[in-house]
A and B are shown apart, each in its own frame.
Chain A
């Protein structure tokens, strides 16, 4: 066999294997979508697909619910949290990994450790704190704790990517007369762009799906974020799981769209790295 032909065969095999793995991997996902497309009578049928499919569930949940308002609440909270987390954690990671400030490692370890405490134990003190600040039923009361809990996570990733970045670039920046802030802005951030994208996606998902804190901070129905919908609707649509699954599919859609859009940034990150390197 000629080398190009061998390559082609290999490529076909790899694709075939990937598709088979994906098919198995997707079973629960397909099942979820399929339940959303079922009538109540078929909802828990023991099969992956049922026929005929119905779009009634989707039509019903869109018609019956003020999804727009809830969606907006979620968006405000999530975007603000992501912005704070990315800014704050990249600053800190820069201090740890590039500036190597004395004591920053100690701080880093502390932040990291406390991140491992289950959220269930933090709920009570956070509730007291937010009540004292008068932040119950405010966006800020949700955004800042989310950010605080998200920063260490993001920091771990950014720190390790910054450490791995070619150090001569930071050195060059210094020789060029950049101060620390300029180095951070013009050198460090562009260098770790894939990691920044990753952190953004991650924080967006976590915040979008979080419900434990959301339900103690936002106690008024009109303040609710999308995350609380699963519980609202498992009560409302007890007799119709299809509708519940339809709502949940709709909630996941923005996340999927976001992901599809930004995952391309990885490719661009790769190209940028190649040019600089």
Chain B
């Protein structure tokens, strides 16, 4: 028996070493939550341009799967070469496991490489770095701009104009509801969609105020933020969001209903365009984005302006310490964020580029081109969407849910966010 086992092991070992000897191909391992079908196209384009490199992609859902896998791999030193990252808190959690990319990027794209990145992205790339650390640990691949999408076919049928004031928004919501549509779908069980809408509101009262608040320069209890919080509650009370929004999820429920023409409006972002490139069957609304157009949140209070665009990095990639040992890893990262890989993602309308000078190519209608161009116009002046500390984001999520549920007053809720912020700032 033992002999047999020995024999089997030897044969297995021989086969394995033969296989590895044969494979003079370099391999890059990548983990992310990035849509698998699009990533496969990016990888195919990359492997065509670099036939000596093979890319192994592992897809994870963001939560809990991706963040668990990442943390476990970091703790045991088995991170892959390249990992998908969000700027701010997620990048900071893994900073020690990441290579600073400054030198490699300068060599690849020239000394001024960072200036080719849209300003809001550039700011986010260093967000949360300890004082004095001017390195970049994340290379952004795609940007996003938040907005309110609406179903223009439904709007047309019901004779609704794009709302310019809060009253018009309320009327639009009522007309939609009366005709059996969901007015504005909010997946308020998901913290991220709540944050996004709140950022639209807060930046309308005072552009950049959330950034100041999370940096400790303005208290979260400032009157503008309290007003924004009240306006947030108003969206529920005025039946702009659907009934029971607090128990709902944006994905897959809300997105599905929206895509199928059951919903009038939904606060999402530029990434919504990718629906039109998903595998068929697609609804008449999603087909070439025919049914959709977007606007920014109209003034919720007299004297306010329409919300400025809010956005930043959708997704970026980091080179791990393991990946630092593997020259092919950087080659892939560079092509993915600012080369052939990015082009494929853009062609799939996955989102907007993070570097200047790219545009989607291929089979794209004028309507989509126009949408894309408007987003690209918004991007350079977009306000920051991201949080430097997960604890602050978490506190804001709780505050927003609590206020929406009516279980806590806006002032008290914001005071809790302020307390969380102070705790984080004190720890630094």
- Interface of A toward B, CB cutoff 8 Å: 39-41, 43-44, 120, 123-124, 126-128, 130-132, 136, 211-212, 215-216, 219-221, 231-232, 234-241, 244
Contact = CB atoms under 8 A, between A and B. Distances in A.
Give the interface size class of chain B.
35 or more
A39 B282 CA distance: 10
User: Closest 6 interchain pairs by CB?
Assistant: A127-B72, A131-B76, A231-B61, A239-B278, A216-B72, A127-B76
B105 interface: no
A130 B73 CA distance: 11
Contact of B35 (A44, A124, A235): A235
Contact of B56 (A136, A220, A235): A220
B286 interface: yes
B256 A216 contact: no
Interface stretch (B63-71, B299-307, B405-413): B63-71
B275 interface: yes
Contacts of B286: 239
Given A124-B72, A212-B68, A216-B68, A239 B61 contact: no
Interface string B33-67: 10111000000000000000000111111001100
Nearest to B31: A219
27 contacts: A40-B259, A40-B260, A40-B281, A44-B260, A123-B71, A124-B72, A127-B75, A127-B76, A128-B76, A136-B76, A211-B65, A215-B65, A215-B69, A219-B73, A219-B78, A220-B56, A221-B56, A221-B58, A231-B61, A232-B36, A234-B252, A235-B59, A236-B36, A238-B251, A239-B259, A239-B286, A240-B278
B216 interface: no
Contacts of B260: 40-41, 43-44
Contact of A231 (B65, B275, B278): B65
A236 B283 CA distance: 17
B288 to A, nearest CB: 14
A43 B251 CA distance: 13
A238 B36 contact: no
A39 B284 CA distance: 13
Given A43-B260, A128-B76, A220 B58 contact: yes
B279 interface: yes
B242 to A, nearest CB: 13
A124 B67 CA distance: 12
A238 B57 contact: no
A244 B253 CA distance: 13
Contacts of A215: 60, 65, 68-69
B37 A236 contact: yes
B231 interface: no
B65 A127 contact: no
A44 B58 contact: no
Interface of B: 31, 33, 35-37, 56-61, 64-65, 68-69, 71-73, 75-78, 80, 251-253, 255-257, 259-260, 262, 275, 278-279, 281-283, 286
B272 to A, nearest CB: 11
Contacts of B58: 219-221
B281 A232 contact: no
A220 B78 CA distance: 12
Contacts of A219: 31, 58, 69, 73, 78, 80
Contact of B69 (A41, A130, A216, A238): A216
Nearest to B283: A41
A124 B56 contact: no
A238 B278 contact: yes
Contacts of A211: 65
B13 to A, nearest CB: 14
Nearest to A54: B281
A240 B69 CA distance: 26
A40 B260 CA distance: 8
Contacts of A239: 255-256, 259, 275, 278-279, 282, 286
Contacts of A221: 56-59
Contacts of B283: 40-41
A18 to B, nearest CB: 32
